[in-house]
Amino acid sequence: MPTIKYYIREGLLPSGTAISATQAEYDRAHVERLRLIRALVEVGRLSITTVSELLGALDAPADDPDDDPDERLGRAVATTHRALSARPVAGAPPPERALAAIATLGWQVNPQSAALRELESALAALEMVELTPGEATLRTYAGAALTVAEAEVIGLPSESAAETLRTVVIGTVMYEPVLIALRRLAQQHVFSSRPRR
């Protein structure tokens, strides 16, 4: 298990307040930040670089009073998607399949979005093996994704902007494995409970 010192050295965690030559004091914010890093790195298996970008999205100062909270959340979501995306955007061909799919759905998304590149690459792979989704399949998946996204926005805490931001960024990252695991378990359930032929 990486040590606190390692996270401090990597710039993920601020150093504590020195109380002697060999001891430092950590406050509640430190402990919470450490727990978040451990959840992302040790359980979520994200790279230090990715976690560093995510923490950057959380720490971005909101010092501009004209900065619209919704726009700030939108930017944090975009940063989160970029941090999670393994694929470099520069030099990639335009995500034509993904743009066509999103146009079919009538969704408003950023055409430069890292998530659009992820969708493109997933659709390109499906095309290679002749399993391209038809419109009905696309709508089923999109409907499921939208249900989840809408519930997330409705469930956001509204007490403080910082808390909302934390829930959006961390929730985006950490609910993906929940969705994937539940889809696999749903497959098992459907296969085990469908009528025998």
- Residue 52 as a binder of a second copy (CB under 8 A): the answer is no
* Kind and range of the H or E run holding 18: strand 17-18
Question: Which residue from 19, 21, 90, 131 is in contact with a second copy, where contact means CB under 8 A?
Answer: 131
Give residue 94's Cα distance to chain centre. 22
Closer by beta carbon to a second copy, 8 or else 78: 78
Task: Let me know: does 48 contact 62? Beta carbons within 8 Å.
Answer: no
Encode burial over 119-151: b for 16+ CB neighbours within 10 A, e otherwise.
Answer: bbbebeeeeeeeeebeeeebeeebeeeeeeeee
**Span of 12-20, 22-30, 58-66, 126-134 interacting with a second copy by CB under 8 A:** 126-134
- Residue 3 as a binder of a second copy (CB under 8 A): the answer is no
- Residue 149 as a binder of a second copy (CB under 8 A): the answer is yes
- Residue 160 as a binder of a second copy (CB under 8 A): the answer is no
CA–CA dist 160, 168 (Å, integer): 12
- Residue 93 as a binder of a second copy (CB under 8 A): the answer is no
- Residue 28 as a binder of a second copy (CB under 8 A): the answer is no
- Residue 78 as a binder of a second copy (CB under 8 A): the answer is yes
- Residue 24 as a binder of a second copy (CB under 8 A): the answer is no
